[in-house]
DNA sequence: GGCGGCGATACCGCACGGGTATCGGCCCAG
DNA sequence: CTGGGCCGATACCCGTGCGGTATCGCCGCC
């Protein structure tokens, strides 16, 4: 299956073999055997070009999930093994720079619990928490709807908040008590910065490139950009920045999420504490 | 991993090997290798008794999920392969005897859709739909909260209804306009029937044994039992039965559920139709 | 028409999975 | 206290299968 996923992603037997660290002929054979075993043509070998068939597309999705599941099994078992005894820690994944005080409150409150286990933090980029949970690199995560997807995860809602526009202090818009999205997105002098996608490249368009929150805030303070963010980030604003509520921006819901079948004692305690802290 | 799950379930190498159709020594070795690869002791070989370690318990849960995922991958790919072209059907799992008219309405409405694909029905027992979805025997299912668990599934709510007590016609309680749970569960002359568990055995206790809804209704009509069921089952009541609303019984929510990563065109259409039909 | 890219096929060797035989520890019966 | 039986581990052997190299067949392109 790993082999098939590699070929399906590369759409090229030679490159896929290289990526897998094996030679091309065994790979061809392996795919052939898989196709015979499943009774399905997975790849259409056109002239000099390989395409996914419908069955192949189905298998690609399913195989990715399956591979993530076995990776998760290995990782979680390894972690459970090296824990002392009855004290397997949990790994909490969260976006770097988001939910700062909520996270702090949660960790403090949880550490005070009588049966608390150690909590390791795993800071990751936007939208990476889902995969982290699915392949076992993390056990529980803080997500932010509607930006993250909770498909396939169990969740508890923690907090709902509006969004604010982050502007350079002194900008004309900061005099207004509230704004609308259109007021902010259409500013020629303050474009929204561009973020690198999952592949590390920046989308085309106007606006400066920013790689993390620090850079972003710096750009705003310099009067080169603006941004819309959950209102809880107000507590982290440095000098030179102002925040104005944006009425029609989607509300952001912070949820705590975990993979459905792995509700260990540590995860359960953390979830319970999170719900209690936020209610 | 299959090997490990077998041993973990049997807690006995010999029996596990027999179940797997291999000899015991290779099995011992395989488990040993797995333990070395993961760097974890999975099974505590006590004197004449094998126990799961904590790490083993973790792996058991994770491995079950992983195995279900690869089974699902194989099954779904096979099904996708033998479909004509762009017309992969979907398998809809539902409890036998539940949601009858809703199901009929849904299938009718969906069949009338322009891009409908064939829908195969898979009737299964209580609580089996989740596993069916997870290991690929089904693509979409109708579940009933709070009886079924939706952990790890994407869902859309379809309908919420109260519950009614099903009593033999003419029973004194049928004169009351509404009941409370305690009124029904404590009746010495009309005990609740016992259902076989997932393993096929009946729990101990009073009450007759019933294997399906037909038997159940028959028992009630004969004045030997009573039952509490969603009110939509009223339409299926045969003569000799009466239904009285039970106020404090938990409301039953019918949801349509599907595995999160496999939202194919067919599943999406079915879900859309279901939501439309029920709103 | 020759060349080059790419997947399939042919063939070989080794490593790993599975089998049988046997050991070692433990409980229990006598 | 000792022998037998149960059960998992170990030792050793064998065949299958996976991975490697060499080569073919096909097609597009210069």
The residue ranges of every structural domain in chain B are 2-79, 83-161+252-278, 163-246
Q: What is the pLDDT of residues A44-57, one digit of tens each?
A: 887 778 888 888 88
Burial class (CB in 10 A: 0-12, 13-18, 19+), A78: middle
What is the end-to-end Cα distance of chain B in Å, rounded?
45
> Domain spanning B83-161+252-278 has what CATH number?
3.40.190.10
Element (H, E) at A29: helix A24-38
Burial class (CB in 10 A: 0-12, 13-18, 19+), B183: middle
Burial class (CB in 10 A: 0-12, 13-18, 19+), B186: exposed
Element (H, E) at A159: strand A154-161
Please name the member of B72, B78, B83 whose beta carbon is closest to the beta carbon of A38.
B78
* Residues of chain A predicted below pLDDT 50: none
| Optimal mutation site among B2, B34, B69, interface A, most CBs of chain A within 10 A | B69
- Find and list the nucleotides of strand C having atoms within 7 Å of a protein beta carbon: 5-11, 17-22, 25-27
Nearest chain B residue to A53, by CA: B81
- pLDDT (0 to 100) of residue B137: 92
Per-residue pLDDT of chain B (279 residues; tens, 9 = 90+): 899 999 999 888 888 898 898 989 889 999 999 999 988 888 888 777 888 888 888 899 999 999 999 999 999 998 888 776 666 788 999 887 677 778 888 999 998 988 888 888 888 877 788 899 998 999 999 999 888 888 888 899 998 998 988 888 888 888 888 888 888 887 777 778 887 776 677 777 777 777 777 777 788 888 788 888 888 888 777 777 888 889 888 999 999 999 988 778 889 999 999 999 888
CB-CB neighbors (< 8 A) of A66 in chain B: 66, 69-70, 72-73
CB-CB neighbors (< 8 A) of B69 in chain A: 62, 65-66, 69-70
Q: Are A2-79 and A163-246 equal in CATH topology?
A: no
- pLDDT (0 to 100) of residue B253: 92
Out of 3.40.630.10, 3.30.450.40, 3.40.190.10, 3.10.20.740, which CATH number does the structure's domain A83-149+255-278 have?
3.40.190.10
> Domain spanning A2-79 has what CATH number?
1.10.10.10
Q: Say whether A70 and B73 touch across the interface (CB within 8 A).
A: no
- pLDDT (0 to 100) of residue B257: 94
Cβ-contact B241, B166 below 8 angstroms: yes
Residues 2-41/A with CB < 7 A to strand C? 12-14, 24-25, 28-29, 31-32
- Token pair in block for residue A208: 């400066």
Angular region, B88: left φ>0, alpha ψ -120 to 50, beta rest: beta
Alpha-carbon distance A38 to nearest alpha carbon in chain B (angstroms)? 6
Chain position carrying tokens 């519950």: B163
| Optimal mutation site among A1, A56, A58, A257, interface B, most CBs of chain B within 10 A | A58
- pLDDT (0 to 100) of residue A140: 93
Q: Say whether A65 and B261 touch across the interface (CB within 8 A).
A: yes
- pLDDT (0 to 100) of residue A236: 75
Q: Which nucleotide's C1' sits nearest to the alpha carbon of A20?
A: D19
- Find and list the nucleotides of strand D having atoms within 7 Å of a protein beta carbon: 6-12, 18-23, 26-28
CB-CB neighbors (< 8 A) of A63 in chain B: 70, 73
CA distance A46 to A44: 6
3-state secondary structure A73-99: HHHHHHHHHHCCCCCCCEEEEEECCCC
- Does residue A48 approach strand C to less than 7 Å at its CB? yes
- pLDDT (0 to 100) of residue A72: 92
| Optimal mutation site among B1, B33, B66, B72, interface A, most CBs of chain A within 10 A | B66
- pLDDT (0 to 100) of residue A87: 67
Handedness of CA B164, B166, B169, B172 (dihedral sign): negative
Q: Which CATH architecture has domain A163-246?
A: 3-Layer(aba) Sandwich (3.40)
Q: Say whether A78 and B154 touch across the interface (CB within 8 A).
A: no
Element (H, E) at A104: helix A100-111
- Does residue B45 approach strand D to less than 7 Å at its CB? yes
């Amino acid at each position: 299956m790993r082999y098939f996923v590699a070929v399906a992603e590369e759409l090229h037997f030679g490159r896929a073999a290289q990526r897998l660290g094996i030679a091309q002929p065994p790979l061809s054979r392996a795919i052939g055997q898989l196709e015979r075993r499943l009774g399905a043509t997975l790849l259409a070998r056109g002239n000099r070009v390989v395409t996914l068939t419908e069955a192949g597309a189905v298998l690609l999705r399913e195989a990715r999930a399956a591979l993530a599941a076995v990776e998760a099994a290995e990782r979680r078992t390894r972690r459970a093994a090296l824990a002392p005894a009855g004290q397997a820690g949990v790994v909490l994944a969260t976006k770097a720079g988001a939910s700062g005080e909520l996270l702090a409150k949660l960790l403090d409150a949880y550490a005070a619990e009588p049966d608390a286990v150690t909590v390791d933090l795993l800071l990751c980029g936007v939208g990476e928490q889902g995969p982290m949970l699915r392949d076992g690199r993390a056990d529980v995560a803080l997500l932010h709807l509607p930006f993250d997807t909770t498909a396939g995860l169990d969740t508890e809602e923690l907090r709902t908040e509006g969004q604010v526009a982050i502007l350079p202090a002194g900008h004309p818009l900061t005099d207004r008590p509230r704004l609308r999205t259109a007021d902010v997105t259409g500013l020629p002098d303050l474009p929204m910065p561009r973020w690198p996608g999952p592949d590390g490249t920046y989308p085309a368009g106007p606006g400066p490139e920013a790689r993390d929150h620090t850079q972003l805030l710096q750009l705003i303070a310099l009067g080169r950009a603006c941004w819309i963010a959950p209102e809880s980030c107000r507590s982290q604003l440095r000098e030179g920045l102002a925040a104005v509520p944006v009425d029609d921006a989607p509300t952001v819901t912070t949820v705590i999420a975990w993979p459905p079948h792995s509700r260990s004692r540590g995860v359960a305690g953390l979830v319970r504490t999170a719900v209690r802290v936020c209610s």
